[in-house]
A and B are shown apart, each in its own frame.
Chain A
């Protein structure tokens, strides 16, 4: 269903139909997993993706380390299954390109080419993209022999010669894949002979593959060709020697750069541009989460992206729920509100909460009561610094504003707090 243009719903512009509980930016494994969890939690969940869902994983032909999906699994196949899974639970796929966003406003506002979308919570799962070599000829000959996607282009190189630049997991695994098509596959490695960055299992298999050739201690300094790639200029880093190596294709796998350009002025990022989050995928902004390759993290794989997405969606759901409840019961309340924060495991503290309960009941014409288990509520910790070490604690809110507080809970202190004699 994802491939048919009729099924791509565009909701922008219709009443409040463009207000989402959760809006996920990016349809890779992080975004799709977040979509499954968000939609299954009955949130109105939208996934904005500029093209096909699947992200970088959909450009990886062999993907055999996702648990439960072994040999024979393909990236596009697994991603299609994840997308269908998210759609089954009711996640809405929106095909649009995000142009700008305001993540501080309430609700958060996302502007795409096709319209504006509003969201109570946002998960940034924009992923990463292949890093370019930044050498002469690379941009001009893209699609003319220069490629960053073996799955997409390998077939075109049947009977031709290609070089692969890089030695990480992607480089080594894609080079192996290319040997099924190309006549000769040469891997250009920057390291000493025998040293690669890929995992041991892939490296050993590649070393045994007779169709792979290796050039060590070298980098590509230029890609040459009139209309199509004809050769690369290589430089030996030990000797400084430069020479031209004839080839029809150059496949570049030298890592990735995060797609955080759109958000990095609002979200805290590390020096490389990856978004910094806490362990609940929360960013520096309330209700904004990040998941997958765009996040500053130790391991970037489909499984960790999916895990991030699940955590972010659960955290987003909790955020939306707490915020709505707080809004209704405290900030929009007509009467002054006494908020009693407690720790359910603290028996002595709970005795005092009973006193608050009684006091408000005696004055229920003038007051209302909201009790909050502050050991589980992130909103009050974040907005009012109500942390477990301060419990029990009582706040008075009048017309949405915190007026007074007391940590001593007696009849006198409650009279003092509320001004009721």
Chain B
């Protein structure tokens, strides 16, 4: 997964063509840490058809708020730089993320 910060968000996400998923996480967000290996698995499965990025919200807080992320975990999908879908919440499951990926990839 590409580690994205406020410095390369434009380059990696906003100006990127095709489908991009950004995993917004934080070191104190247990559920984010729990989900991460599953997201990495998903990247192995779908990484040839879309791009996977992650943003550590600690240190990129303004970027998070700018992208309307005020609750973790949050998976935000962008297509050609445009925000197209979002999943968030404490009950977010790896299966939910995969279902959304399948929906958007086709």
Contacts and interface: CB of A to CB of B under 8 A. Distances in A.
A280 interface: no
B80 interface: no
Contacts of A113: 95
Given A58-B30, A156-B26, A5 B38 contact: yes
A153 interface: yes
B28 A3 contact: no
Contacts of A51: 31, 34, 91, 93
A59 B91 CA distance: 12
Given A51-B31, A58-B30, A155-B57, A142 B89 contact: yes
Interface in B31-62: 31, 33-34, 36-38, 41, 57-58, 61
B64 A156 contact: yes
Interface string A153-170: 111111010000000000
A400 to B, nearest CB: 44
Given A52-B34, A155-B58, A144 B95 contact: no
Interface residues of B, number: 29
Contacts of A153: 29, 70-72
Nearest to A151: B28
B84 interface: no
A142 B71 contact: yes
B69 A156 contact: yes
Interface in A4-56: 4-5, 50-52, 54
Given A3-B34, A5-B37, A76-B30, A143 B70 contact: yes
A407 to B, nearest CB: 57
B74 interface: yes
Contacts of A3: 33-34, 36-37
B52 to A, nearest CB: 15
Given A143-B70, A155-B28, A156-B72, A149 B90 contact: yes
A176 to B, nearest CB: 16
A59 B32 CA distance: 12
Nearest to A130: B90
A228 interface: yes
A282 interface: no
Given A113-B95, A143-B70, A145-B70, A156 B37 contact: no
A357 B65 CA distance: 80
Contacts of A155: 26, 28, 57-58, 61
A249 interface: yes
Interface string B71-86: 1101000000000000
A406 interface: no
B41 A50 contact: no
B102 interface: no
Nearest to A50: B93
Contacts of A248: 70
B95 A156 contact: no
Given A3-B33, A52-B34, A149-B90, A156 B28 contact: no
A229 interface: yes
A375 interface: no
**Residue of A59, A144, A155 with most chain B CB atoms under a 10 A cut-off:** A155
A186 interface: no
Nearest to B40: A5
A59 B28 contact: no
Nearest to A114: B95
Contacts of A362: none
Contacts of B69: 143, 156
Contacts of A152: 26, 28-31, 71-72, 90
Contacts of A147: 70-71
Contacts of B68: 144, 227-228
A54 B28 CA distance: 14
Interface in A118-176: 142-149, 151-158, 160
A267 B68 CA distance: 42
A143 B89 contact: yes
Nearest to A227: B68
A48 to B, nearest CB: 13
B88 interface: yes
3 closest cross-chain pairs (CB), A and B:
A143-B71, A52-B34, A143-B88
9 contacts: A5-B41, A51-B91, A143-B70, A143-B89, A153-B29, A155-B57, A156-B64, A156-B71, A228-B65
Given A54-B30, A155-B58, 7 more contacts: A5-B94, A59-B90, A97-B93, A143-B71, A151-B28, A152-B30, A157-B70
